[in-house]
Structure 1
């Protein structure tokens, strides 16, 4: 890579595709690894954390990067596919430096008559950092820090709250100090477009401290979606650090079956206290779910399927199916019941598949096209029988009906898979994904740390 490469702001690298010399995609950038140095010396950039197709995170040394241009990263094609593990001397830029509060010690152009390095110690928040390639070398280092001011400086001119500026790395201090209440606004902005499962993967790889800070910055709905994708240990850890009122709000935003699974991992006293803080109409479905054995249809089901009266039309059904927050499995069919329409409903009449809704005119009543051939499942149906039912009838969801004929909920195939896989499958998916071929040459060790290798 030629010297004089333009400055690269690291937040712009998040999610950027990484290619080998043949144009085959290796993965996407998830973070940048740097090594902080003593005094005012800028950190050295060691390499990139790249997520490959199997969701494994690997380390790509900067010496293997040949181009950082046009929204893509080109490598030499020789990478080490061993899982990245952060070392004690290493710092992740996106995960650990963004949103950090530091102090300005040299403010160019403002403190007239003040010697360099004698700024007023104004506290600022880090929004981004940039890196440049050193002349005549393949090494990279951090050179600039993009910061936002938060208050009026002492002994200086009035400064607008929220004003931003870019300063040299040497003009700030405090990156090596452990910060106990670091924000997460800039980090979240970097990962704003990630799906909940991918953001959960990001959280899993952060420190426990940063996980709690990011969780605190997420809104309730987003946090609920992310919690549903995390391993149980991470769920309980994050949940335990939320204020009780907010924890109750997040439970209300979660799918009932996932919320019940999380509650079942908590001590009985905590469980009852949180249920008492929830809105009664949100808490009641969770109490019902918690009353069933875990590996039964009742314990697996969600209490929020699409329920329609028999006099509803196909147009009504399609409008319900189109709801953006509905999972594909729940959108695959609607359940026709007598009033009331909230679970447990009135008498269950049958279901209508999505494909049938597409074939019939919009004015058709769902009661006239209901499928009554498929028997519903009792709530005490064991997991193996639920699995056989879905496989036998090629279904992605099945109705759960009590002995009085009322619809209690629906079991979806994703909930069944959650319980068929090993208990730690989410943990394994985040830590050691199954081997999946990636479009790179046969991996070779990169043993020399001084060459920029991480050695993982």
Structure 2
């Protein structure tokens, strides 16, 4: 079973309920040319939380599903020094063929069961391709035994990340961000180099601020400016606001003026105000647009649900700051009207826009009071400046680690004695001879 092919496949309990998806495989490298022992799977469960599933609890591995015995400890997975993540750390590594001394790159790693029901990493798929990252030209790919290559234990700088990225290419940005967050600092930098600007921008928007700053710092200034241009203005402003003034100004200068201008405006507002929360590019239409045209704009798959829930009607110009703000049309109203109807005839003008200086708490109260998922932000002259969405409000109201705290409480209430015994024994045994000390099965 080649491990990169397991990335993203669903994990089910015996009742057929999906509990998560495979994100990686944990192995223990051993001395000499002995093949690594597979310890278990890293499974991403609710709220994008990685947990450890011992391989001894896996009942079946198929091409599109993993089935386990139903027992799962939901404590957050923490990698130990003796453990190696196959997808995150072994793919794209440069190794040496023992027989010829030729250097090749790891494309995939294969694991296989033994007669004792253990799983060992016995095969390595390698390529003679040249180059790094996404530009690597993959040549002949062939499979060799684990003991036919050396170099897995060495620290490699500039490893590349094309294989890792390919394993998770179908992931949503938020899920890929969770994978990136769990990587080492070295691997995060290598993934950032390999991702294109748009994909990296999407991932950065979903990462904690510390990770954003760290990754941005690994990029050269021109590349960092390009990635900031690809981010939403509000996310770019949040990230730049955490940087030293000199570095921030340098990056803004390197950005295209049309992309830097809205970011500069957002940076003038307090972080916990409506102006600091808003995005400057909501869906804005002039009053002579039809319902059909407005619906076409909110069908854009790049819009998040809160942003696509309404269109804002303004007199030209329709780029923020706009001409006079006339009101909002919610998408449910658009669905109820004939396609040829002008939005000016169905606009909701009774609800006043909020001011950019409104506090975070006041914005949250406003959205809750009127059952809204987004609200228009306008200046005192009635020009639309942007819109605040409920997801941005929640991001600022909740602590950054609220999901982890919730899951930690859940885990504490559901202790798993057998898993604790496995962890206490190093997951695969407490003795020096790991062939003699395998996990005890209940």
Q: Normalising by structure 2, what TM-score?
A: 0.90
Match of 2:58 in 1: 65
Going from structure 1 to structure 2, the CA distance change for 1:453 and 1:80 (only over 3 Å counts) comes to farther
User: Is residue 251 of structure 2 the alignment partner of residue 274 of structure 1?
Assistant: yes
For residues 418 and 82 of structure 1, what CA distance do their matches in structure 2 show?
24
- Deviation for aligned residue 1:348: 0.9
Inter-partner Cα distance in structure 1 for 2:74 and 2:360: 37
Deviations 1:133-173 (A, max 9, x none): 112x021111110011036xxxxxxxx96111111111111
Q: C-alpha separation between the residues in 2 aligned to 1:54 and 1:411?
A: 24
Q: Is the 2:355–2:378 Cα contact (8 Å) retained in structure 1?
A: yes
For the 8 Å contact 2:315–2:322, the answer to whether it is kept is yes
Counterpart pick for 2:319 among 323, 334, 342: 342
CA distance in 2, matches of 1:204, 1:453: 29
Residues 82-110 of structure 1 deviation map (CA, whole Å, 9 limit, x = unaligned): 3221111111001100011111123xxxx
The 1:348–1:188 alpha-carbon spacing in structure 2 relative to 1, beyond 3 Å, is same
Shift of 1:28: 2.0
Q: In the alignment, which of 211, 227, 238 is matched to residue 261 of structure 1?
A: 238
Higher relative contact order (CA 8 A, sep 6+): 1
- Asked whether the equivalents of residues 311 and 330 of structure 2 are also in contact (C-alpha less than 8 Å), the reply is yes
Q: Which residue of 2 aligns with 1:89?
A: 82
Q: How does 1:118-197 map to 2 (within 5 A)?
A: 119=100, 121-135=101-115, 137-150=116-129, 162-197=139-174
Q: By how many angstroms is 1:54 displaced?
A: 4.3
Distance 1:161 1:70, change over 3 A: closer
Residue 341 to residue 397, structure 1, CA distance change in 2 (3 Å): same
Structure 1 residue 453: deviation in Å? 5.6
Change (3 A) 1:285 1:78: same
Cα separation, 2, equivalents of 1:195 and 1:9: 23
The SS at the match of 1:445 is helix
On the 8 A contact 1:336/1:348 being kept in 2, the answer is: yes
Cα deviations by residue, 1:379-435 (Å, 9 ceiling, x for unpaired): 11111111111111111111111112111111111111111112x23xx53x55536
Cα separation, 2, equivalents of 1:283 and 1:236: 18
Is 1:290–2:267 an aligned residue pair?
yes
Alignment CA distance shift 1:90-1:195 (3 Å): same
CA contact (8 A) 1:78 1:444 kept: no
Cα distance in 2 for residues equivalent to 1:453 and 1:265: 47
1:204 paired residue number? 181
The alpha-carbon distance between structure 1 residues 204 and 163, as it changes in their structure 2 partners (threshold 3 A), is: same
Q: How does 1:411-426 map to 2 (within 5 A)?
A: 411-422=388-399, 424-425=400-401
CA distance in 1, matches of 2:225, 2:217: 12
Q: Within 1, Cα distance between the matches of 2:438 and 2:45?
A: 20
* Cα distance between partner residues in 2 of 1:90 and 1:410: 46
| Counterpart among 244, 252, 258 of residue 221 in structure 2 | 244
Measured in 1, the distance between the counterparts of 2:393 and 2:312 equals 19
Does residue 1:37 correspond to 2:30, yes or no?
yes
Q: SS state of the match for residue 281, structure 2?
A: coil
Report SS of the residue matched to 1:411. strand
- Distance, in Å, in 1 between the alignment partners of 2:15 and 2:327 is 55
Q: Which ranges in structure 1 are unaligned for 5 or more consecutive residues?
A: 1-7, 107-118, 152-159
Kept after mapping to 2: 8 A contact 1:20/1:75: yes
Shift of 1:229: 0.7
> Contact (CA 8 Å) 1:61, 1:453: kept in 2 or not?
no
Where does residue 5 of structure 1 map in the other structure? none
SS of alignment partner, residue 24 of structure 2: strand
CA distance in structure 2 between the partners assigned to 1:369 and 1:23 by the alignment: 48
What displacement does 1:57 show? Answer: 2.0
Runs of 5+ unmatched residues, structure 2: 131-136, 430-436
**Is 1:406 aligned with 2:392?**
no
Residues in 2 aligned to 1:52 and 1:324: alpha-carbon distance in whole angstroms: 25
Contact 1:197/1:226, CA 8 A, preserved across alignment: yes
CA distance 1:13–1:453, shift in 2 (3 Å): farther
Give the number of equivalent residue pairs: 419
Query: Do the aligned partners of 2:22 and 2:41 also contact (CA within 8 Å) in 1?
Result: yes
> 1:45–1:333: structure 2 CA closer, same or farther, 3 Å change rule?
same
When residues 387 and 89 of structure 1 are mapped into structure 2, their CA distance, relative to the original with a 3 A threshold, is same
C-alpha separation between the residues in 2 aligned to 1:258 and 1:452? Answer: 48
Provide the rounded CA distance (Å) in 2 between the counterparts of 1:90 and 1:436.
Answer: 26
Q: 2:281 aligns with which of 294, 299, 304?
A: 304
Q: Contact conserved, 1:55 with 1:433, CA < 8 A, in 2?
A: no
1:250-287 alpha-carbon deviations (Å, 9 max, x no partner): 11111111110000000000000000000101000001
Q: Distance in 2 between matches of 1:316 and 1:354?
A: 12
Q: 1:41 to 1:366 in 2, by over 3 A?
A: same
Q: Are residue 101 (structure 1) and residue 120 (structure 2) matched? A: no
Cα distance in 1, alignment partners of residues 409 and 64 from structure 2:
25
SS in 1 for 2:157: coil
Query: Which deviates further from its counterpart, 190-199 or 76-85?
Result: 76-85
**1:226-241 matched pairs, under 5 angstroms:** 226-241=203-218
- Output the CA distance in 2 between the equivalents of 1:370 and 1:398: 14
